[in-house]
Amino acid sequence: MKFGSRILTSGYTLKVVRFATLIFHLPYGGKAVTGKLIVLCTCGSAEEARKIAHGVVEKQLAACVNILPGVESIYRWQGAVEQANEVMLIMKTRDTVYANLEAEIRRLHSYSVPEIIAVPVERGLRAYLDWVGSETQQIQ
């Protein structure tokens, strides 16, 4: 392979940058191949987590939210190392809904800077991913 050559394999473009070094380019401008996202968010209490979970599912911003209690977080905040017991939300949604989902989480959340992290779903059970799509807002 020559420097700068491109190879298409399994929906990904590989570019030879140097000998034996490849850069992976996600198709569709870096979006999740499936169009679905896993969104993670920590909350200060189970009550707050349930409020956010119900709010985003009722508004069809997420198809499903798992609530995981007992998360211990250690982090830096305003120059100090902090430790807190938190509750993790795992939300399944479509990438076109993300902006509205983030806005709703921020509206309902007590933290001034809540953890909201979206991870693209590359693969999954097609029937489940289709269900996520059917249960969330149809935003283009």
Q: Kindly report, residue by residue over 82-126, the tens digit of the pLDDT.
A: 999 999 999 999 999 999 999 999 999 999 999 999 999 999 999
Q: For residues 43 and 28, give the distance between their C-alpha atoms in angstroms, rounded to a whole number.
A: 32
By residue range, what is the domain housing residue 56? 36-134
Could you tell me if 23 and 70 lie in one domain?
Answer: no
Q: Distance between CA atoms of 70 and 38, rounded to whole angstroms? A: 20
| Residue 41 sits in the same domain as residue 88 | yes
* CATH label of the domain that carries residue 48: 3.30.70.120
Give the count of beta carbons closer than 10 Å to the beta carbon of residue 56. Answer: 26
Burial state string for 117-135 with b = 16 or more CB within 10 A and e = fewer than 16 = ebebbeeeeeeebeebbee
Report yes or no on 90 lying in a domain: yes
- What's residue 117's pLDDT? 97
Same domain for 66 and 92? yes
Confidence of residue 28 (pLDDT cuts 50, 70, 90): very low
pLDDT at 51: 98
Does one domain contain both 19 and 40? Answer: no
User: Is the entire prediction scored with pTM above 0.85?
Assistant: no
Q: What is the pLDDT of residue 33?
A: 84
Instruction: Kindly state whether residue 128 falls inside one of the protein's structural domains.
Output: yes
Q: Count of domains in the chain?
A: 2
